[in-house]
């Protein structure tokens, strides 16, 4: 089928008059019809958008996957709140099995068992706040514990 047989008259509303005038000027300078210039413009536009879509699609897919990985990573970094208890005893095994950082809040008596060491406390305890009494093993630095504490009544090393 020839390109002449694919032509038809079309009225398009909403064309920007400045763009149309510029296209008409290009048509006059190049000896083409305004239809030829518009057809070439539409072909170029379609080639560009299709080319961009196909060349950018792997990038878009990669960005989506990266976003999911980042979201998963960030959610695993966000501490979990343990709150509103009279008494709680926490062991190294408890913290390791849970596998997430924890904020202990509003617990009257919070006890860390003797197997909890500085590395475990640093890795899994994000914050201790609004607790009346916090007991930690002797081997843990008081300053390390206090750096994680906000508004506690008493810190006891056993």
pTM of the model: 0.55
Beta bridge partners of 128: 104, 149
pLDDT tens digits in sequence order for the chain, 158 residues long: 455 567 788 888 888 889 889 888 888 988 989 888 888 888 877 776 676 666 667 777 777 787 777 766 666 667 889 999 999 999 999 999 998 889 999 999 999 999 999 999 999 999 999 999 999 999 999 999 999 999 999 999 98
Nearest to 120 by CA among 98, 95, 144: 95
Q: How far apart are CA 149 and CA 45, in angstroms?
A: 61
pLDDT at 31 (0 to 100): 92
């Amino acid at each position: 089928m020839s390109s002449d047989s694919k032509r038809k008259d079309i009225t398009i509303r909403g064309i920007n008059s400045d763009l149309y005038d510029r296209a008409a000027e290009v048509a006059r300078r190049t000896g083409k019809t305004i239809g030829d210039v518009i057809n070439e413009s539409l072909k170029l536009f379609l080639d560009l958008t299709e080319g961009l879509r196909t060349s950018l699609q792997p990038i878009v897919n990669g960005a989506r996957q990266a976003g999911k990985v980042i979201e998963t990573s960030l959610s695993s970094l966000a501490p979990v709140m343990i709150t509103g208890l009279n008494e709680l005893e926490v062991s190294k095994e408890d913290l390791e099995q849970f596998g997430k950082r924890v904020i202990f809040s509003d617990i009257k008596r919070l006890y860390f068992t003797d197997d909890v060491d500085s590395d475990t406390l640093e890795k899994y305890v994000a914050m201790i706040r609004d607790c009346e009494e916090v007991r930690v093993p002797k081997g843990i630095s008081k300053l390390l514990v206090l750096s994680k504490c906000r508004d506690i009544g008493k810190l006891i090393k056993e």
